[in-house]
Homo-oligomer: A and B are copies of this chain.
Amino acid sequence: MTSPSTVVQETPYLVIDVRIAADRYRRLADSFGDTAIYYAVKANPEPSVIRTLVALGSSFDVASPAEIELCLASGAQPQNLSYGNTIKKSADIAFAYARGVRMFAFDSEAELTKLAEHAPGAQVFCRLLVETVNAQWPLGSKFGCSTEMAVELLTQARELGLDPIGVSFHVGSQQLDPAQWAPSVARAAGVFARLRDQGIELTLLNVGGGFPVGYAEPVTPIEDFAKAIQSSADEHFGARLPRIIVEPGRYVAAESGVLRTQVVLVSRKSHDDEKRWVYLDVGRFGGLAETEGEAIRYRISTAHDDAPAGPVILAGPTCDSVDILYQNTPYLLPLGLQPGDLVEIQGTGAYTATYSSAAFNGFPPLATICIGDS
């Protein structure tokens, strides 16, 4: 990328190189072949990122009216939007429908009822609750429903005048293991078979996102994920292969971002403290929300990375004690690190700026600068 050192303003700020997001998108598209890509806008909704992905032929997974507006304003067509949030206000469903969106996720009877009323005739897919391991940002049980309930709800969808098109699931974000998709693909195939028995031919298999990024350590290449998903689909669906879609967010956006921050303070709590505390001008409430529980471990670099280094605890600048980035994860930074030194946090293009707090401690949200936009 163009050296971010050419872009100078008061830290902290995030530099997004749109060309990297485009490269990541192309590699994903090459890997997945015919699979349609619905970029998860929530990962990074910078307009120049969205415009670039529209030009590359991406579809979009949206979570709110604001994300719908953004995609349409960036040139996306409403038929290429999927309203993937299973928790939608009636007014927001009506808004989406009025804008031409015709594809909606659900995982409950109450949501289906809202969709029938406010998006009549729309294509709907049911999200399955699946158990997975090996995700660094797991999705728990907040989304999805049991297989049994999915079968009932998809049947009910038709009775309500909706168009039941398929199922979705998500194996957890920053999922390191390509094998985690297969059990859910099998479960989805079971739902397809049950619906077929009732005369409903589902056509869409949405295998979600979760494809990992090499933050601090290398990860399995995306091609292996694509192969694993394709081969489990072949195995469980055979000749009746549905249309497969993926919803990557992190994979496309993360590596496009570098967060430039500065050291505010280096200290020890007592003379025999083994680790130094390094306080940066960005923290958990300034855009690094995914360091909660030290889940996402970013690569961190300084101008003195060749110098002798020692262990540190990394923390943010607010008066909140939970505003600590890494206390248990070993991080080494130069022993000569001083207040005012620049620190770069790599791979911060996804799930960062939009998370940052509106005004906690009087600090503004993280500023973003886009480069490489054509």
Contacts and interface: CB of A to CB of B under 8 A. Distances in A.
Contacts of A271: 146, 148-149
Interface stretch (A219-227, A319-327, A328-336): A319-327
A89 interface: yes
Nearest to A62: B362
B357 A269 contact: no
B319 A361 contact: no
Interface stretch (A64-72, A181-189, A238-246, A297-305): A64-72
Copies in the complex: 2
Contacts of A364: 66
Contacts of A45: 359, 362
Contact of A357 (B67, B149, B339, B356): B356
Nearest to A144: B269
Contact of A66 (B88, B268, B269, B359): B359
B317 A87 contact: yes
B140 A321 contact: yes
Interface in A321-355: 321-324, 338-340, 353-355
A196 to B, nearest CB: 22
A143 interface: yes
A271 to B, nearest CB: 7
A125 to B, nearest CB: 15
Interface stretch (A21-29, A109-117, A158-166): A109-117
A139 interface: yes
A150 B108 CA distance: 58
Given A67-B361, A87-B265, A355-B357, A322 B146 contact: no
Contact of A361 (B85, B285, B322): B85
Interface in A114-165: 114, 129, 137-146, 148-149
Given A266-B110, A267-B107, A362 B148 contact: no
A142 B321 contact: yes
Interface string A39-51: 0111001000000
Contact of A269 (B149, B319, B363): B149
Interface centre among A266, A269, A292 (most CB of B within 10 A): A269
A138 B322 CA distance: 9
B339 A110 contact: yes
**A-B complex: 3 closest residue pairs judged by Cβ atoms:** A66-B362, A108-B267, A146-B270
